[in-house]
């Protein structure tokens, strides 16, 4: 049954990918349907899910329809690019786990560099300026313009963090002093 469906479609991978994208967009529309969209000047909580859902449904539908018209490239999946999978997933996980401790500038530099190296066409000459430039833009945008409380260079990269005799005691002392400041 599945083979007959795959053979009747011209490009089954793109058709299924387009349908998946349209389905995710439909889920955004459905789940965000109860939220107030507001207006373009005063955006509500439902504004972004509706815009994103509409764009995803439209693009997914176009991808699926165009894939049905193109000649088949076959259902060949080929080999999994493990280098790219590991580098992209690892960089995403390391960003989430290290942005507060290492700081935005170093983490974005390393994450963008790793993600650039996920491609087999990556070159050091293009990956280095890309990672440095995006790190600078992200630091300026998120810390200075938007005012997010992220450290540019985090505490894990300072000498004082590593020089304490007993990290548990120094962490406890910092927590106690912070609590006493808040309690006042």
Write the secondary structure of 39-68 as one string of H (helix), E (strand) and C (coil). CCCCECCCHHHHHHHHHHHHHHHHHHHHHH
Asked if residue 87 and residue 53 are part of one domain, the reply reads: no
Domain's final residue, options 69, 93, 115 = 69
Q: Look at residue 150 and tell me if it is in a domain.
A: no
Q: What is the pLDDT of residue 75?
A: 52
Reported as type and span, the H/E element at residue 12 is helix 12-31
Q: Look at residue 6 and tell me if it is in a domain.
A: yes
Q: Is 38 helix (H, G, I), strand (E, B) or coil?
A: strand
Give Cα 148 to chain centroid, integer Å.
17
Asked if residue 57 and residue 86 are part of one domain, the reply reads: no
Res 28 pLDDT > 70: yes
Q: Look at residue 26 and tell me if it is in a domain.
A: yes
Q: Look at residue 31 and tell me if it is in a domain.
A: yes
Asked if residue 50 and residue 27 are part of one domain, the reply reads: yes
- 20 neighbors 60 (Cβ within 8 angstroms): yes
Asked if residue 93 and residue 37 are part of one domain, the reply reads: no
Q: Look at residue 182 and tell me if it is in a domain.
A: no
Q: What is the pLDDT of residue 9?
A: 62
pTM: 0.53
Asked if residue 58 and residue 18 are part of one domain, the reply reads: yes
Of all residues in the chain, the percent with pLDDT exceeding 90 is: 26
Asked if residue 117 and residue 92 are part of one domain, the reply reads: yes
pLDDT tens for each residue of 108-119? 999 999 888 888
| Mean per-residue pLDDT of the chain | 80
Asked if residue 61 and residue 21 are part of one domain, the reply reads: yes
Q: What is the pLDDT of residue 19?
A: 93
- Identify the bridge partners of residue 38 per DSSP, sorted by sequence position: 43
Asked if residue 65 and residue 6 are part of one domain, the reply reads: yes
Res 5 pLDDT > 80: no
Asked if residue 64 and residue 88 are part of one domain, the reply reads: no
**Token pair for 3:** 């083979």
Q: What is the pLDDT of residue 6?
A: 47
Q: Look at residue 173 and tell me if it is in a domain.
A: no
Q: What is the pLDDT of residue 180?
A: 46
**Domain encompassing residue 133:** 82-145
Q: What is the pLDDT of residue 176?
A: 46
Q: Look at residue 170 and tell me if it is in a domain.
A: no
Q: What is the pLDDT of residue 165?
A: 55
Asked if residue 124 and residue 102 are part of one domain, the reply reads: yes
Asked if residue 44 and residue 95 are part of one domain, the reply reads: no
Q: Look at residue 151 and tell me if it is in a domain.
A: no
Average pLDDT over residues 117-128: 85
Q: Is 117 helix (H, G, I), strand (E, B) or coil?
A: coil
Asked if residue 130 and residue 107 are part of one domain, the reply reads: yes
Domain's final residue, options 13, 34, 69 = 69
Number of folded domains in the chain?
Answer: 2
pLDDT tens for each residue of 134-148? 999 999 998 888 888
Q: How far apart are CA 97 and CA 52, in angstroms?
A: 27
- 134 neighbors 84 (Cβ within 8 angstroms): no
């Amino acid at each position: 049954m599945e083979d007959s469906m795959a053979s009747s479609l011209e490009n089954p991978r793109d058709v299924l990918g387009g349908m998946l994208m349209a389905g995710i967009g439909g889920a955004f529309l459905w789940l965000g349907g109860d939220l107030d969209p507001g207006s373009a000047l005063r955006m509500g909580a439902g504004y972004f899910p509706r815009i994103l859902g509409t764009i995803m449904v439209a693009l997914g539908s176009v991808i699926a329809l165009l894939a049905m018209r193109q000649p088949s490239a076959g259902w060949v999946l080929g080999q999994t690019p493990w280098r790219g999978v590991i580098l992209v997933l690892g960089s995403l996980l390391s960003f989430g786990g290290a942005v507060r401790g290492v700081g935005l500038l170093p983490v974005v530099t390393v994450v963008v560099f790793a993600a650039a190296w996920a491609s087999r066409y990556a070159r050091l000459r293009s990956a280095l300026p890309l990672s440095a430039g995006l790190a600078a833009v992200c630091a300026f945008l998120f810390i200075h313009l938007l005012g997010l409380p992220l450290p540019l260079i985090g505490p894990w990269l300072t000498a004082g963090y590593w020089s304490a005799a007993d990290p548990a005691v120094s962490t406890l002392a910092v927590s106690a002093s912070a609590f006493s400041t808040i309690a006042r």
